[in-house]
Amino acid sequence: MTKQNKVNFVINTLKEFYPEIPIPLDHKDPYTLLIAVLLSAQSTDIRVNQITPLLFAKADNPYDMIKLTVEDIREIIKPVGLSPMKSKGIHGLSQILIDKHNGEVPQTFEALEELPAVGHKTAGVVLSQAFGIPAFPVDTHIHRLMHRWNLSNGKSVQQTEKDAKRLFPKNLWNDLHLQIIWYGREYSPARGWNLENDIITKTIGRKSVIQDYYKKKRSSK
């Protein structure tokens, strides 16, 4: 199977599995999405979706957010982890949005990445999900699967993003980003992985990955 055939197989399979693509993080506008994505670092979407309603009940826009203290924010978001850094980031970026962007979330990588606690992946998620701007933010699921599928060498998230953008059509980036995440969670997780349920890896996967899987399965018997 050629690399292009593999790419087509991934696109078609994911389209069949996820014709409608749910957004993992609950939000109502670009600002609440930005805050939710920031909170999701080293946490789970489920936990973030439990906490954001509590935070947004007090402040769902930058003007109300800066009325809270960093400590106020920290107390609310503690369950998602890294609350000291995240609370400072939320308060700081809210002030910058007011001072530099008229309270609006900017629509470029450069402007987003200038905000406190906002990295490249967070910026990409906001651009793709809030504004429909093509991006291919790479999380742990995409990084793992691109390696398993032999579509990237898996040496760095940056390289995985470059490979994904090179291989997949730009008009599909935003859909594929989410489809791969959902597929990774449901069929190709890091732990408790069952290759028999993972049709994409089973069909196009890296030989060494598949061999290691069966080797570990035999040794565990």
Amino acid at 130: A
- Residue 198 is encoded by which pair of tokens? 């993972």
Are the CB atoms for 117 and 80 separated by under 8 Å?
A: no
Q: Whole-angstrom Cα distance, residue 152 to residue 161? A: 9
Q: Whole-angstrom Cα distance, residue 195 to residue 185? A: 13
Return phi, psi of residue 167, to 5°.
-85, -40
Catalytic, out of 6, 121, 163, 198: 121
Residue with tokens 């700081």: 92
Taking the CB of residue 155, how many other CB atoms lie within 10 A of it?
Answer: 10
- Is 121 catalytic? The answer is yes
Catalytic, out of 45, 72, 139, 175: 139
- Is 99 catalytic? The answer is no
- Which positions are annotated as active-site residues? 121, 139
